[in-house]
Amino acid sequence: MAFTAEQMEAALRAAGHRLTPQRRAIIQYLAATETHPTARRIREEVGKTRPSLSLATVYNTLGTLLRLGLIKLLEFGEENRVETNLTPHINLVCTGCDRIIDFPEGKLYSPQDLLEKTGFQVLDFRLEYYGLCRDCREKGGRHG
Which domains does the chain show, CATH number per domain?
5-83 (1.10.10.10), 90-138 (3.30.1490.190)
Read off the pTM. 0.82
pLDDT digits (tens, 9 = 90+) for 22-59: 999 999 999 999 899 999 999 999 999 999 999 999 99
From residue 92, alpha-carbon distances to 26, 38, 98, 107 in Å are 25, 17, 10, 15
Distance, CA of 96 to CA of 99 (rounded, Å): 8
Nearest CA to 34 out of 103, 125, 94, 95 is that of: 103
Give pLDDT tens digits for 54-76: 999 999 999 999 999 999 999 87
What's the average model confidence in pLDDT over 66-87? 91
